[in-house]
Amino acid sequence: MNRWINKKPSRPLAIALGVLPFLLLMAVYQWGSDTRKAENPNDKLLPSVSEFHSAIDRLAFTPSKRTGEYLFWQDTKSSLQRLLIGVACAAFIGLMLGLITGAIPLIGANLNPIVTAISLIPPMAILPLLFIVFGLGELSKVMLIVIGITPFLIRYLYQRTKDIPNEQLVKAQTLGGNSFQIIIRVLLPQILPRLLDALRLSLGTAWLFLIAAEAIAATDGLGYRIFLVRRYLSMDVILPYVLWITVLAFLLDWLLLKTSKKAFPWYHAAK
Amino acid sequence: MSDYQIEFRHVEKSYGDNLVLENINCQVKQGEFITMVGTSGCGKSTFLKMLLGTEFHTKGEVLLDGEPILAEPSPERGIVFQKYSVFPHLSVRDNVAISKEFESSVIGRLFGKKRKQALDEADKWLDAVGLLHAKHKYPHELSGGMQQRLAIAQALIKHPKVLLLDEPFGALDPGIRKDMHKLVLDLWQKYQLTIFMVTHDLEEGFYLGTRLWVFDKTRHDPHAPNRFGSTITFDLPVGKTDEESLEIIEESLSLHALSA
């Protein structure tokens, strides 16, 4: 095999190749940090590992002097709560509307234009509006996530419902199913795994809106903390938080994929 | 009421200016097995769709048991398509039982004893098509031939007046196709079914049914290919399965296929 397009890595090599960039990144960081520390021991831009350690210890494992809370965990809890409530609401609305517009052409004709129009509004542009209407509390942050991802979910699931072969719908009719029964027994179960696909695709966007909302008006949360400590140039807090958000995002994605494979084996086998 | 189960009277089907079928006149008795052949675009599939109810004729009358046929698919007419006939998210058993669930539950789902009864009846039909051993499998675990067996079992549990087969074995290997032919003939005799089958394989159509229909255009306008529609040009009864007729049809089909 001389062509590069034919050379495939063995499993150990693939793992080594995959880990390499991470190690490189860490090495470059360490080198950069050491160089800057050598010039100025109080440098804040690239903190050393021990500084990360003490920052994490201070936020995650020592109660806050002011409130007695463990700030890191409090932030995680608040953020995840907002994210999950927002995503769950969006999933419910997206599933209902996507399914019904895809299944019943009359409702589709009725709702699709307005869903398309709403999906074109940049959600960040109406964030001030949300703050005015829903106040500065939890609701406006959840609403931003809902408004941010629901139109995508509706349109995605509408399309997936349409993709189900018409043969199946005709078959179901010859088996005596009425519209409602066909939606409940033929379309809905086949759309559920596709809903999980859609959620995986929209989680990144959901995080974006969450952090944006927290940055502007919040008293806790991962995004709030990052934007708060930015004033003190606390890279020792910002970087672990960013890393933690990445880990959480990865875990949520992994959890959705696992759930989908466990609950809908027929969907993954047929793909 | 006439003796005929299905009757087409001066039926015509067009899409705008495009005339697909014209002058369709035919009568079919209960228990006949009709195979339909023709070149692609000859309207044999459109004919089947009119029987199924997904297409509606533009002129004339289509009667089922003397009544105008419903313009929507219904349990009177069972269907097996070439593919996508089974529900991928249901087990083989549930695929067959689902019509029982549609029948006796508003939400299309049965529980407890009633569900058990539905599953038992499903098993009976799975046995009839030789699929009982695979009842707990999902369609993606089945071969193409087994999926078609499942699709047939699904249709039969509703006791349809007419069974429609739309190129059901077109995607199968020749060996498997032979098995399927035997199965369909057995079921047809055992349950006294009326079957309409579209096929692109002339030999299959020739030897399988009791009556062979050939769809073709009788008039042709080279400048306006859509001016004239197809009609049934051959209607061969039982027993006339000799080599000579086969050759005549084959010749006539290839002739028109060339000029089209």
**ipTM of this predicted structure:** 0.87
Specify whether B151 is located in the same domain as B36: no
Q: Say if B83 falls within a structural domain.
A: no
Specify whether B183 is located in the same domain as B226: yes
Q: What is the pLDDT of residue B260?
A: 41
The residue from B140, B159, B178 where one domain ends is: B159
Tell me the shortest Cα–Cα distance from B158 to chain A, in angstroms.
7
Specify whether B176 is located in the same domain as B249: yes
Tokens found for residue B153? 């079992």
Between B54, B107, B141, which is nearest A170 by CB? B54
Specify whether B68 is located in the same domain as B186: yes
Confidence of residue B239 (pLDDT cuts 50, 70, 90): low
Instruction: Report the percentage of chain B scoring pLDDT > 70.
Output: 90
Specify whether B43 is located in the same domain as B117: no
Q: Enumerate residues 88 to 147 of chain A having a beta carbon within 8 A of any beta carbon in chain B.
A: none
Confidence of residue B244 (pLDDT cuts 50, 70, 90): low
Exposure of B13 by Cβ count < 10 A (0-12 exposed, 13-18 middle, 19+ buried)?
buried
Q: Are B36 and B199 in contact (CB under 8 A)?
A: yes
Domain A71-270, what fold?
MetI-like fold (1.10.3720)
Contacts of B90 in chain A (CB under 8 A): 189
Q: What is the C-alpha R_g of chain A?
A: 24
For chain A, domain boundaries: 71-270
Q: Say if B65 falls within a structural domain.
A: yes
What is the mean pLDDT of the segment spanning A160-179? 94
Count of residues making up chain A: 271
pLDDT tens-digit readout, B61-73:
888 888 888 889 9
Integer angstrom CA distances of residue B223 from A33, B14, B39, B42, B113? 81, 18, 20, 18, 65
- Give me the phi and psi of B17, to 5 degrees please: -85, -10
> Is the pLDDT confidence value at A160 over 60?
yes
DSSP, collapsed to helix, strand or coil, labels residue B53 as: coil
Specify the amino acid at residue A241.
Answer: Y
Specify whether B184 is located in the same domain as B240: yes
pLDDT tens-digit readout, A248-269:
999 999 999 999 999 999 999 8
Between A174, A182, A264, which is nearest B79 by CB? A174
Specify whether B46 is located in the same domain as B123: no
A79 vs A234: CA distance, rounded Å: 20
Q: Say if B67 falls within a structural domain.
A: yes
What is the mean pLDDT of the segment spanning B47-73? 89
Q: Say if B86 falls within a structural domain.
A: no
For residue A168, give the chain B residue with the closest CA: B85
The residue from B101, B134, B159 where one domain ends is: B159
A253 vs A233: CA distance, rounded Å: 31
Specify whether B179 is located in the same domain as B230: yes
Specify whether B138 is located in the same domain as B231: no
Choose among B87, B79, B86: nearest CA to B197.
B79
| A39–chain B Cβ distance below 8 A for any pair | no
> Is the pLDDT confidence value at B192 over 50?
yes
Which domain covers residue B223, as residue numbers? 6-76+161-259
Specify the amino acid at residue A165.
Answer: P
Between A171, A190, A269, which is nearest B79 by CB? A171
Between A173, A264, A266, which is nearest B74 by CB? A173
User: Over chain A, what is the mean pLDDT?
Assistant: 93
Specify the amino acid at residue B229.
Answer: G
What is the mean pLDDT of the segment spanning A221-241? 92
Q: Give the least confident one: A22-31, B38-47, B115-124, B237-246.
A: B237-246
Q: Assign residue B221 the CATH number of its domain.
A: 3.40.50.300
Residue matched to tokens 């999926």 = B147
The residue from B159, B178, B193 where one domain ends is: B159
Specify whether B121 is located in the same domain as B237: no
Q: Determine, for residues A176 and B99 on separate chains, whether the beta-carbon distance falls below 8 Å.
A: yes
pLDDT tens-digit readout, A112-159:
999 999 999 999 898 889 889 998 888 999 999 999 999 999 999 999
Q: Determine, for residues B109 and A185 on separate chains, whether the beta-carbon distance falls below 8 Å.
A: yes
pTM as predicted: 0.88
Q: What is the pLDDT of residue B259?
A: 45
Specify whether B55 is located in the same domain as B70: yes
> Is the pLDDT confidence value at B256 over 60?
no
Q: Please state the domain count of chain B.
A: 2
Specify whether B185 is located in the same domain as B230: yes
Q: A138-163 and A127-134 helices cross at what angle (nearest 10)?
A: 120
B205 vs B194: CA distance, rounded Å: 15
Q: Say if B117 falls within a structural domain.
A: yes
Residue matched to tokens 């209902």 = A96
> Is the pLDDT confidence value at B165 over 60?
yes
A153 vs A195: CA distance, rounded Å: 8
Tokens found for residue B210? 């009791």
